[in-house]
Structure 1
Amino acid sequence: MTDTTFFTASQYEAICASLPDPTFILTETGRYAAILGGKDKRYYHDGSSLVGKYIADVLVASKTDWFLQQIRDTLARQQMLVVEYELSAHDVLGLPTDGPVDAIWFEGRITALDQPCCGERAVVWVASNITASKRLQQQLQQQAMNDELTGLHNRRRFMQVLEEAYAAFQRQATPTWLISFDVDHFKAINDDLGHPAGDQALRDLAGMVQQAAAAEDLVCRLGGDEFALLCPVRSLAEVTALAQRLLHGGRQVLQPYATGEPAPTLSIGIAHFLAQDRSTEDILRRADQALYLSKTQGGHQMSTTGCAQE
């Protein structure tokens, strides 16, 4: 028969103090009743000074409200709640404004205590630093949505945002435009100067487009020498002016890659979201038709098809 070993009170205290992740005992009003563990100094500072204070004494109002809501939800459900959250220097009261602002990400596991603490209902909140895994996740997501060559958004991101813009247009009829363009005679750059030169031409073109576009525009490389801009809340005159800047800027940045005539330029197709559109395919088709029209008319021009303001 195996003897049952019981830890002494001091041993339990030592075990709790040695926990690598900090464990907070938080009351319903947000008081720090106790803090256990947090001994992994790679990730955590000594939080013992928080005991007796309230969350509102430590964090800005928006963060305080969020933490208190998680405590209330846990107490109401009587089930463990798992949440992810970030904290930066801007969220903590009393820190210098010129300090580090990089956010630290945590996973919080919150459970209700069976007995009151300090005369209140309370929860146990275990905070695990997940910053490294969160940053890796964000990096992978960015890579999945960005074009490796130019740094612009890629086709996957474009299709995602196009669907979102179409749904918003259906709800609110927000004026939205799709500008599609590619490089006239791009094959000559690759054939005469080599693919490295072709790649650099695309990077130069991407930089020009980013400068010409507004902050709210989505700039994408769809593949090869094909690009697209999604432009919300614009008039036809504004979109036309943007297209003119692209035509002029495209000719300038591509001129060093000209190996003869005709020189590389841009052909542009413009489509406006319409009430009768049944899917994003209708919008894409009109933009492609407009781009094809620019091509067949000799390139270095813009065309529109099926636009409400025509």
Structure 2
Amino acid sequence: MTFDEIEKYLKQASDSVAAMKRDLTTFFTALPDPFFILDTQGNYIEVLGGNAKHLYDDGAYLKGRNVCDVFTDELRDLFISSINEVVQNRELLICEYEIKPELLRTKCELSSHWYEGRVVPVEGENGEIAAVIWLAINITEKKRLEQRLKDLAEKDPMTGAYNRRFFRESIDQHYATFKRYGTTYSLAFIDIDYFKKVNDQFGHDVGDGVICHLVTHIQEQLRTTDLLSRFGGEEFVVLFPHINLDEACLVAERLRATIEMTPYKSINHKVPFTVSIGISEVRAEDESVEDILKRADSALYQSKSSGRNKVTGA
């Protein structure tokens, strides 16, 4: 083979490699889901794919940056720990993570996006792990569907309060914790006074509005750890973890006064109403959850029988 023939062969080979590189780049860029090549320190080396613009931001701005400069502490730690695990184990890792609206470059987004990350190692020339490929798959709709199904199973569809079944599961868990560790809790039964008169006078649509109005005001008074459940038609129960009887009565009295001063208003009606509340705290002598439920129910009955619009502890 002459020198000219060798030179021609090498040029053809180089052209083939260049063409193959262009084809691969075109292919990867056209992928709907984005994938990132990161070194072992969390630096973005390359950003490809993400052609489904309705699901993904343009990730080109990430190239040359480090995950520590892009994400909050929690996400940064997840990315770094995931990269380290892949480098150590040399195998596929799958993780799920949430990106808050303020981190999304699409500023019109008002809710978080969820992603499934699939991370695989990339070996260098000497067999060491030189980088990782991180494929990001948008699973936001899947997460929203899961949450909707969870809500259907756990919550009252009209008010958004937890349903009776979920409440029973929760109070059973708290009772078991109390028996084991002595961690106290209290219950409040809440019932709308003369609710039948509201339905008879204004109709069931207004009655439903009154119920939803009540739920809104109850939730405004509760901590994130408290649990509100719709126990019956116009009857609700609140579980107060780590709160004794006196503390629960103070919260209940504040709620009762707020409801009395805040009538429900619809387009055509203004409906004042009050609530009666019965409170009980778990006791060492209780043999089951039914004991505290019965005491709270008896306290509610006492509030009603002594004139309504009252809070009674038992």
| Interval containing the TM-score (normalised by the shorter chain) | 0.7 to 0.9
Deviation at residue 225 of structure 1 after TM alignment: 1.2
After superposition, the C-alpha distances for 1:177-211 in whole angstroms (9 at most, x for unaligned) are 10012234433433454323332332333344344
Match of 1:68 among 80, 93, 100: 80
Residue 297 of structure 2 aligns to a residue in which SS?
Answer: helix
Q: Is the 8 A contact 1:177 1:273 kept in 2?
A: yes
Deviation (angstroms), 1:277: 4.2
Q: Indicate if the aligned counterparts of 1:89 and 1:101 stay in contact, CA closer than 8 A.
A: yes
Aligned to 1:128: 137
What code does the residue aligned with 2:47 have? I
Is residue 67 of structure 2 the alignment partner of residue 55 of structure 1? yes
Q: What is the CA distance between 1:271 and its match in structure 2?
A: 1.5
1:295-306 correspondence runs (5 A): 295=304, 299-305=308-314
Q: What SS class does the counterpart of residue 231 from structure 2 fall into?
A: strand
Quickly say closer, same or farther: Cα 1:8–1:252, change in 2 above 3 A: closer
Larger radius of gyration: 2
> What do residues 165-187 of structure 1 show as CA deviations (whole Å, max 9, x unaligned)?
44554565444210012234433
- Measured after TM superposition, the shift of residue 126 of structure 1 is 0.6
Which one of 32, 53, 57 corresponds to residue 20 of structure 1? 32
Who is 1:40 aligned against?
A: 52
How much identity, in percent, do the aligned residues show? 36
The 5 A counterparts of 1:89-238 are 90=102, 102-115=111-124, 120-170=129-179, 173-214=182-223, 216-238=225-247
Task: Classify the secondary structure of the residue corresponding to 1:242.
Answer: helix
Counterpart-to-counterpart distance in 2, 1:128 and 1:76: 23
Residue of structure 1 equivalent to 2:281:
272
Question: Cα deviations across residues 136-192 of structure 1 (Å, max 9, x unaligned)?
Answer: 433443454443333433334433443454455456544421001223443343345
Superposed CA RMSD: 3.7
Distance 1:226 1:216 in 2: 20
Confirm or deny: 8 A CA contact 1:267 1:301 kept in the other structure: yes
TM-score by length of 1: 0.74
1:33–1:117 contact (8 Å) kept in structure 2: no
Aligned to 2:13: none
Residues 258-278 of structure 1 deviation map (CA, whole Å, 9 limit, x = unaligned): xxxxx9754432121234445
Distance change in 2, residues 1:84/1:167 (3 Å): farther
The one-letter code of the counterpart of 2:191 is D
Summarize deviations over 1:256-297 as a string: whole Å, max 9, x none.
9xxxxxx97544321212344455444323323333444555
Going from structure 1 to structure 2, the CA distance change for 1:49 and 1:164 (only over 3 Å counts) comes to same
More displaced, 75-84 or 288-297? 288-297
Structure 1 residues not aligned, in runs of 5+: 1-6, 257-262, 306-310
Other-structure match for 1:81:
93
The 2-side partners of 1:123 and 1:297 are apart by: 71
Structure 2: which 5+ residue stretches go unaligned? Answer: 1-18, 266-271
Paired residue type of 1:27: D
Structure 2 Cα separation of the partners of residues 243 and 183 of structure 1: 14
SS in 1 for 2:81: helix
> Relative to 1, partners in 2 of residues 1:123 and 1:160: Cα closer, same or farther, differing over 3 Å?
farther
Q: Is the 8 A contact 1:269 1:303 kept in 2?
A: yes
Aligned to 1:259: none
Deviations 1:192-251 (A, max 9, x none): 543233323323333443444455533332220111112234343332233334444555
Q: Do the aligned residues in 2 keep the contact of 1:22 with 1:37 (CA within 8 Å)?
A: yes
**Quick one: which amino acid aligns to residue 153 of structure 1?**
Y
Query: Are positions 1:239 and 2:252 aligned together?
Result: no
CA contact (8 A) 1:33 1:118 kept: no
For 1:82, give the aligned amino acid.
Answer: I
Worse-matched range after superposition: 104-113 or 276-285 = 276-285
The TM-score with structure 2 as length reference comes to 0.73
Superposed displacement of residue 100, structure 1: 6.0
